[in-house]
Amino acid sequence: MEAITFKLEDFEGPMDLLLYLVSKNKMSLYDISILELIDQYTQIINSLQQNRMEVASEFIEMAARLVQMKSFLLLPRSAEAERMREELTGQLIEYSLCKKIAGKLGRMAGTAFVTVRAPMQVEQDATYTLRHDPSLLEQAWNSLMGRSQRRRAPAQESFEPLVTAPFVSVASRVVHVLRGLITGKVQRLRQLFTPRDSRSQTVATFLAVLELVRAGRITIDDNGALAVRRNKNLHHGEG
């Protein structure tokens, strides 16, 4: 093999070095003498490592990969060797095409005429012209200074509706619901609730309906119709 007359820094990576060896040996990318290529690459890396310990790790990693590939190639009818050969050939072809296109784009960019004018100086007016409610400015200032507004204690009047609300038992609403169904005054679920009812009445009525459904006393269909379930176990005729 000829003496090395180049520096490793001349190549952008191991694929670049491999492509150089393919071109130097006048090989076709579609018909590479893979064993010869592997031997030349590993010889170059080994000789460089003897003189320089700081050879880039990516070049050493590729050398290890090629040595592994060579060990498979020496085996008769190795499917792994064929796979690795095809993979390396495809990568070299792809790298070669990308390098050609990059060179073409670089030449096109070198001949392009580019004119850039100096940036214009824009005068900025720092005057703040928006108007805000004073309370919003106060809140912003308190937030900025890490203060939190003290919340006022709730007035006693706010508790009056809760404390003075009449107590409505669920049992009384159970009787109310059954009486309405038996007398026919109530036929649908929505008839049990009116806007005039207090919150206590509404909650107690709702719980009463749930209890009656759970106990199997009434049924509710998909349309909200209510019906009293008759007990089939009562009044059996004697045999």
Residue 63 has pLDDT above 50, yes or no: yes
Backbone φ and ψ for 218, nearest 5 degrees, come out as -135, 165
Instruction: Report residue 95 as tokens.
Output: 């790298």
Residue 105 has pLDDT above 70, yes or no: yes
CA 220 – CA 228 distance, rounded (Å): 9
pTM score, two decimals? 0.41
pLDDT in tens, 160-211: 666 666 778 888 888 988 888 888 888 888 888 888 888 888 888 999 999 9
CA 156 – CA 113 distance, rounded (Å): 80
Of 61 and 153, more confident? 61
Residue 87 has pLDDT above 70, yes or no: yes
Task: Work out the pLDDT band at 53, boundaries 50, 70, 90.
Answer: low
Residue 191 Ramachandran class (φ > 0 left, ψ -120 to 50 alpha, else beta): alpha
CB 34 within 8 A of CB 21: no
Mean pLDDT of all residues belonging to the chain: 80
| Residue 169: per-residue pLDDT | 87
Secondary structure of residue 12 in the 3-state scheme: coil
As a whole number, mean pLDDT of residues 109-127 equals 81
Residue 106 has pLDDT above 60, yes or no: yes
pLDDT in tens, 9-35: 677 888 888 888 888 888 888 888 888
| Residue 112: per-residue pLDDT | 73
CB 236 within 8 A of CB 199: no
CA 60 – CA 214 distance, rounded (Å): 77
Our CA dihedral for 15, 17, 18, 20, rounded to 10 degrees, sits at 120
Residue 234 has pLDDT above 70, yes or no: no
Of 226 and 53, more confident? 226
Return the domain boundaries, the chain.
8-108, 167-228
Give whole-number Cα distances, 158 to 94, 149, 151, 238, in Å. 77, 21, 15, 64
The stretches of 11-155 forming alpha helices (DSSP H) are 14-24, 34-51, 57-73, 79-111, 134-144
CB 45 within 8 A of CB 54: no
- Per-residue DSSP letter, 100: H
What residues does 220 pair with on adjacent strands?
A: 226
| Residue 238: per-residue pLDDT | 39
Tokens 């349309």: give the residue: 223
Question: Which residue, among 32, 59, 66, 85, has the nearest Cα to 24 in the 3D structure?
Answer: 32
Task: Work out the pLDDT band at 223, boundaries 50, 70, 90.
Answer: confident
